Structures are given as C-alpha cells and as structure tokens.
Amino acid sequence: MAERDYYADLGVARDATPDEIGRAFRKGAAKVHPDRNPGDKAAEEKFKKIAEAYNVLHDPKTRASYDRGGQAEVQAETGFRGFDTTEDVFSHFGDVFGGLFGDRVRRESVRERGGDYDVELTLSFEEAARGGKKTFTIDAPTACEQCHGSGSSDGRPHPCTACEGKGYVSQRARQSGGFFSVTNPCSRCRASGVDPTSVCPRCGGRRIETRPRTLEVSIPQAVNDGTVLRLKQMGAPGTGGGTPGDLRLRLRIRSEGPYQREGLNLTREVTVDLVTAVLGGKVDVPHLEGTAEMTIPPGTQPGQQFRLGGLGLSENGGKRGDLTVRIQVKIPRELSDSERRLFEQLRSAGIRT
C-alpha cells in the first residue's frame, strides 16, 4: 500500500489548525461531491480520499498517530483503513456537516449504518508467529432472527406513522435572526422507527439481537500484540437498508511459552545434561517449524548462547529472523553409587566440572 499524504489530500500545511482542516474538508468535499459530479469516478475517488484524510486529521489522537507512523500506525491503533465506497463516507459522517451534502444526507437519514463492534481475540505465541486462518466464535450483534431485522412482528416493514419510520421528528422554531430546526427522538415509537402496534416481541423493535457468530479471519505472520484487524461490514447490521458496521478485532498474544521475541528474532532455552555440557555433543532444538540438530562444544557453560540463523520469525514470507539458544545445564539431584564414585574420583584427581 502506497503511503498517503493526508495533508496534501486536504491541501493544508502539516501545522494546520483544526479549523483550517475543517474548512479545507468542506471546501474540497463540496467540489467533488458525487451529487454534483454524477458518474465521475475520478471525483468519487477524490471525495473518498478527502473524507479519509479528514477522518484521521480532525481527531487529535489519530492525527498524532499519523504524524508518528503514518497510515500503518493509524491502522494498528484504530483499525481504520479508509472508505471503500462513497456510501461508507455518508454512513460514517451522517448529517454532522449540515447542508454540505444536501438532499443526499436527508435521503440517507433513514438508512443508518450499523455500529462498529470491538472484540479481542487471544492467540498463542505460535499462532501469532505463523499466521494463517483462525476460526473463532463471539457473541455479537446481528439481525434479529425472528423479524429478520425489520423490527416488526411479521417480518415486514411497518414504519411509525408519527415519524415516517425515521425514529425522530423535526420541528421548526424561531429565534432571533430566523428559524432553526429542532430534532428529537420520536415519542410514539421510542426512536425505533417501527409502528408500536406491530413491534417484534423478540427484539422489541430494535431490529438487532446478540447471539453467537462463528467467523474466520486471516492472521498476518509475526503479528504484534495489540494489532487491530478491521473486518469490513462484519459489525452490527444497519437499519433501513444501511450497510453493516465494522468488526474491530484486537489481537492479544499470550506471553507464556518457551520463546522471547525481539523483532523477528527469537530466544529460547534448551537444557542439556552435565555430561553433554562437559564433553560436548549434539542436542535437538525445537523451533516454530520443527526441530533442528545443534552441536555444542566441550565445556559449554550454563547461560552460554548459540545462534541458529533463519529460524526466527518471517514477516509476510520475507526475510527471516534468527533463533538464539540459551543453554541450561541439568545438575543431577540424586546419584547412584557408581555415579557418586565417578564424581569422587574426579574430585580426587583435582578436576572440577
């Protein structure tokens, strides 16, 4: 993925103030808005780029992440990977920017994007190192099984007559300088948008229920603890035909195990018996992909380290790290009579093992 310059996308300096960023977004988005450029794919792409840049830079936390490490750090900390479609932009921003999007926002007001959902997935060290497919089950919001997400008892849309299915009502009020609009949740349907006489008894008109879902995700090789994977449209379902939200999957890696990690390099301990440490020999060293035979020299000391090149981690099939083997020597706690005599003979000969 080519690194994007969000400041250049908005046409602002890197030290731009929040107000300057907001004005640049409004000006740029209005110019390339899809309703003003129907069928213009280049304008749509520019519109998505401007929206993506604003979404990162208007928030001080995500802006700081971007300034430190670019898109990669923003993705790692928030899971945000941009907008796939212009509908994603409208669903994400809603009517925050008032009349900027004109009738498009008002048409989308009933069609609401589903909420994002955050879960954690714990991996063993080996699973995180190798990567690959991982199947897991979570309790997650999904469309009500009885009403199929309609909110109505018979599974068909029955919009509230008071708010026309919007879930809110707007009234005009006067203040000095002119009229303004006040929007409040609909009291008849309690903001559900569903006629209260036909509400689904299972979800109470909320259209959503929580139940187990089994998902499969691709884990990148050598993934770090805390990495966030964003599964597009795998979150809570939308309403009124809106797109589902996203599932943000934060990876947690269990620290227990034989390995210590530093970048792509690994360290582990291997225990050898006293005789092998004194006389030297071959030992089997387990690693992530099997076992390697390693020769240790005579007189190997406890804590002495040996490096096995290329047996560490590999990131996306690229360069591999190394495996460092730290030797521990097993000292026998109990000796047979013959073993004791041998050690006594060594001591008598002045040999200290």
pLDDT at 111: 61
Given a contact cutoff of 8 angstroms between Cβ atoms, the answer to whether 197 and 188 are in contact is: no
Give the span between the Cα atoms of 22 and 228, in whole angstroms.
Answer: 27
Asked if the model's pLDDT at residue 337 lies above 80, the reply is: yes
Counting Cα atoms < 13 Å in the Cβ hemisphere of 221 gives 13
Domains contained in the chain, CATH given: 1-109 (1.10.287.110), 114-149+205-256 (2.60.260.20), 260-348 (2.60.260.20)
pLDDT at 143: 85
Rg (CA), the chain: 31
Asked if the model's pLDDT at residue 289 lies above 80, the reply is: yes
pLDDT at 106: 39
- Residue-wise pLDDT tens digits, 18-71: 889 988 998 888 888 877 777 788 888 899 899 899 989 988 888 998 998 888
Asked if the model's pLDDT at residue 2 lies above 70, the reply is: no
Closest among 119, 108, 63, 138 to 246, alpha carbons compared: 119
pLDDT at 336: 87
Residue with tokens 């300034």: 67
At a CB cut-off of 8 Å and minimum separation 6, what does 281 contact? Answer: 272, 295, 296
pTM of the full predicted structure?
Answer: 0.52
Coil vs helix vs strand at 111: coil
Span 6-14, mean pLDDT? 92
- Residue-wise pLDDT tens digits, 261-287: 888 899 999 999 988 999 999 999 999
Angle between the 18-31 and 41-57 helix axes, to the nearest 10 degrees?
A: 170
What's the mean per-residue pLDDT of the chain?
Answer: 82
Asked if the model's pLDDT at residue 350 lies above 70, the reply is: yes
- Beta bridge pairs of residue 212: 139
pLDDT at 352: 59
Q: Which residue would you say has higher pLDDT here, 336 or 113? A: 336
pLDDT at 17: 92
pLDDT at 76: 77
At a CB cut-off of 8 Å and minimum separation 6, what does 122 contact? Answer: 252, 253, 254
Asked if the model's pLDDT at residue 319 lies above 90, the reply is: no
pLDDT at 255: 76
Coil vs helix vs strand at 146: coil
